[in-house]
Every structure is written in C-alpha cells, then in structure tokens.
Amino acid sequence: MAGFRRPEVPREQLVLWAQRLDDAIPFDHPVRHVDQLLNSEAFAETFRQWEGEYVLLEGKPPYPPRDLAALYIYGMLVRIRSSRQLEAACYNRIDVLWLLSGQKPDHSTLAGFVGEHGEHLRKLFRDVLYVAGRAGLVKLEHVAVDGTKLEADAGRKSVHDEQYLARQLARIDQQLAEMEAQWDANEKRETDLFGQQVPWTPPSPTDKKRLAKLQRQQERLEEALGEIQRRRHEAAQYSDPKPVASVTDPPARVMRDKEDRLKPNYNAQLAVDTAEGVIVAEDVNDQADDSGQLVPMLEQVEDNCGRLPGEVSADSQYNTGPDLAALEDKQVEGYVSPSGTRGAGSVPSSAAAQAIAAVQAGQVLNDEQWNALPKDKYGRIYKEAFRYDAERNVYICPTGDTLPRDGSGRKARKWGQAVCQRYRGIACAGCERAGSCCRDPAKGRTVTRDQYEPQRERMRERMKSAEGQQHYRLRSQTVEPRFGHIKRGLGVRRFLRRGLEKVRTEWRLICTVVNIGVLLKHWGKVSVVL
C-alpha cells in the first residue's frame, strides 16, 4: 500500500492502558539498580535517622528523603542537575516516573533539599564507601590526591575591590537611615496633628520590598568585606591577597583556572583509590592553591574508611615541609612531586639526573653535564644541584666550591614559620660559571635550608627512582580522569549553590554520584553484598 505510515491509535483516542508502569522499565535498567541500592540494608540506618528529623503530625506530608535523594542521584547520573529540570523529568521521563512512583515534587522543594541536609548527605557518601569496600572496590593500597577549580555561581562582574564595597555599603546604610528617619518623622507629624499617640502603621508593600532589597544588599556587602578581612588575616604573615570579593557569592574567591581566566571559583579536592577509581575523600575550599591540603585529605580518608592508605601521590603544589613530615609520622609512603618552578613534572630528565648524581658524588662537572643541570626561567641552576655536607654543615656547589653558613632567621610561609639557615658562596665573583648560578656574583650564591629539608631530600631521592615515577604516574590513571568525568561526563563545570557550606554539600553529592556510578559498573560484585 502506497503512502506513509499512520499512527495506529490517534492521540485523541481514549485508551484503557493494560500495561503497568513497572513493565516499562527493563529489568537491568540502571534506575532499578539505584533504587535497589538505596533501599538496601546498608543505607537503612542513615535514612531512619534522616526521617526521624521530620515533623509528620502537622502540615502537608513531606516527601520521603530517600525518594528525593534517589531523584538527585539518578538525575545527576543522566546529566540532570537543576531543580527545574528534575521537576520536568518527574512529568516526562518514564524512568524518573518509575523511580518516584509517579510523585511530582516541585522545584522549590527540590532546591531546598540539598542545602538543608548536608550532614545526612555526608553519611550517604560514607554508606556508599562502605558498600564499595564490602564489594572489594576499595583497596587503599594507593590513593591519588588532586584539586581543580570549579566556577562559583557568580559572574566576574560581581567582583569589586574593597574601596568600592565600602562606598556601596555606606550608601545603603545612609538609605536605610533615611527610610527610618522618614518613618519616624511621619509618625511624629501624625502625633502632632491628632494630639495623641497614633498606633504604629506598618510600611506599605512598596516600602517593604525596598527595605528587604536594601537589607539583602547590605548583608552581602558586609559578608564580602568580611571575607576580604578574613583572607587578609589568614595571609598576613606570608602574602598580601588582593582585596576583592564577589557580592553575589562572597565566599567564592577570584582564582585563575586552567584556561587562564580570572573569575570567582572554588577549589575542589579529591582523593581517589587507584583500585577502581572510588572517591574516598572530598572537600571544597577557597584556597588559590593546593598547599596544606594533603594531610587533611588523608585524615578524611582514615575517617571515612577506618584506616590510612599505604601510599599517596600528589603533584608539586602539595609538597610542603609539614605535610611531608606528617606522611613520615603516619607511615604513609608518599610520592609527591618536588616543588619548584619546573611545574608538575618537577623530576629531572635522565641527563639532569646523571649530572645531579655526579654533583652528589663530589665529581667536577664538564660542560655537557653543567648544561644538563635543571635551571629556572632565568637560566640559574636549582638548589638541588648543590650537595649538602651534614658533618661540616656546608653546601658544595657543582664546581666544588664551598658555601659556608652565613646566618639564620625565620621566614613566614603559608604552612607556618620556616627556621632557615643561610649559606653563601665566597668564591662566586671569580667563578666562570657564576652567570648561570648567581644573580649577583659579587654577593655570591645564597642557598637556604629550613627544618623540613631532610624530608624534602628523601622525597626527591624517592621520586628520582623508576619505581617512584611509576607510582607517581598512577595519578594520571585515577584522580585526573575523575575530574574529567565530573566535568565532561556529568556536565559539572559550575556550582549551582552559593555559600561555602552549601557548595561543600553539593560537591559531596556529586562525589556520591560518581561512586554510585562505579558501583553500577561493577553491579555483579555489589549486588551480592547488599
């Protein structure tokens, strides 16, 4: 028969459906696994405590937290994040209809759910880790730690300097004072007119809206100025942070991302187990770099999993003296790239390593070896090309000259006070290599050594070995792909909530979703332990 195919049943035809909603979802569909997981005994206690906080004797019955948590988790697995998109999915996606049994929470209910239940979502994250551990997906043999910048829910135009914020706050304070003075004057005029005390008349709806708007602006400006003061106080000893803040999301900090753009961001941290890529610790902060984050992440791993990992790897931003000392105290084998201006690689090439080994052996370098020594952007050799003689307490440069101790002092670092010993060359002015070693040969080359230099030296030696490089490369197979999956696979490049605590809760939920994705990938192992 010629012509196009026509619908068997027109959409206007009244039909009595014989199919069940349950029949519309295949037996191996991921939504069934999410539902089975969250209804398992592993999550029973968390949801029991969660439900116990609800008041069920008055008002409209609330949605069960298990249903809303399942909606958020499954929604993010299929790249649906916003509350309005989740609300729409409750009407037009058959898998979401099945998950919620036809319930349709509105977007305002969904929007407030994550921000109000941060502690329970943290327990949910731990429950997922518990299931992953029972299924053998978490080994804690090696954990990789890294951070990335995620955009805050604030634009670059919302960022202003301290002087502008102070002027705007003074203007709004003046407007509020004028409104209050005007209301007082009106009340006094009415009292004088009628000769007696007139009952107080509330402001008009227009005045109420204006007052509420000004008060919101006042709170944000005060919070932004408070953030500037807090950052200045935290960095008082080692730097002078730029006095700027966002009035949209004051806790967000202006940071430079990988695209070299300055905008309000948060620093999101992950610790990932290398066995199957399960996230074992997470955090969000407003720090512009990752220094000082390694030990807190390891402590969270121990808190979440009950024990520390055997090994940990991290890039050069995590290489601080106190963290390296803490790794040795905790007996965790660290593979942390040496700090310096050479970037995350920070490990000498084979030729450079051979040249440094020759220096440490006390050999005099030839031209080829000297040229192979690692140098900074100004062409001056790094400190690691010098050999420290502990018995004599001197440094020896690659040419064999001695740098005796030239004093000591304290210097403020981000991680605390560095107790530095200073060593200065005495024969640099007449050295033919001085141009690629000293800034000013007449003053001589200066090398400093603080209380954590022994830990750094041991880490450098470990990272020079082939085994150290092999362990360090595990980062590129675990934590870095996790960030790629979050940003590209789940579409998370910007937080949807404002304020550090709400952003932390949102990040925790994102990490929970990533881990549940790992569980679904290994459902055969997971289903037998539920």
Return mean pLDDT, the chain. Answer: 89
pLDDT at position 108, please? 93
Beta-strand runs (E) in 153-302: 159-161, 244-246, 253-256, 262-273, 279-285
pLDDT at position 173, please? 92
Residue among 143, 493, 138, 511 nearest 318 (CA): 143
For the segment 487-497, the average pLDDT, to the nearest whole number, is: 95
pLDDT at position 5, please? 79
Identify the band that residue 274 occupies on the pLDDT scale cut at 50, 70 and 90: very high
pLDDT at position 363, please? 83
Q: How far from the centroid of its chain's Cα atoms is residue 247's Cα? A: 21
Check pLDDT > 60 for residue 87: yes
Beta-strand runs (E) in 159-214: 159-161
Of 313-317, 409-413, 459-463, which gets the smallest average pLDDT? 409-413
Percent of the chain with pLDDT over 90: 63
Identify the band that residue 24 occupies on the pLDDT scale cut at 50, 70 and 90: confident
Question: Which amino acid, 54?
Answer: Y
Identify the band that residue 193 occupies on the pLDDT scale cut at 50, 70 and 90: low
CA distances from 210 to 136, 214, 217, 270 (A): 59, 6, 11, 43
pLDDT at position 19, please? 74
Residue among 333, 316, 397 nearest 363 (CA): 397
Beta-strand runs (E) in 324-371: 333-336
Pairing of strands 394-396, 402-403: antiparallel
Q: Which residue has the higher pLDDT, 448 or 464?
A: 448
Strands in 446-449's sheet, in edge-to-edge order, are: 405-413, 416-424, 446-449
For the segment 203-223, the average pLDDT, to the nearest whole number, is: 87
Identify the band that residue 525 occupies on the pLDDT scale cut at 50, 70 and 90: very high
The CA distance from 118 to 123, in Å, is 9
pLDDT at position 194, please? 62
CA distances from 226 to 154, 242, 394 (A): 18, 14, 47
- CB–CB of 499/264 below 8 Å? no
For the segment 269-295, the average pLDDT, to the nearest whole number, is: 95
Please tell me the total number of residues recorded for the chain in this structure. 530
Of 143-157, 159-173, 272-286, 394-408, which gets the smallest average pLDDT? 394-408
Angle between helices 107-116 and 118-134 (to 10 degrees): 70
Check pLDDT > 50 for residue 344: no
pLDDT at position 91, please? 95
Q: What is the DSSP string of 298-329?
A: HHHHHHHHSS--SEEEE-GGG--HHHHHHHHH
Check pLDDT > 70 for residue 197: no
One-letter-per-residue 3-state SS of 57-124: CCCCCCCCHHHHHHHHHHHHHCCCCCHHHHHHHHHHCHHHHHHCCCCCCCHHHHHHHHHHCHHHHHHH
Neighbours of 125 (CB within 10 A): 22
pLDDT at position 27, please? 92
Backbone angles phi, psi at 415, to 5 degrees: -90, -5
Give 40-76 pLDDT, tens digit per residue: 999 999 999 999 998 888 888 999 999 999 999 999 9
Check pLDDT > 80 for residue 335: yes
pLDDT at position 345, please? 39
Identify the band that residue 138 occupies on the pLDDT scale cut at 50, 70 and 90: very high
The CA distance from 27 to 33, in Å, is 9
- CB–CB of 514/506 below 8 Å? no
pLDDT at position 343, please? 38
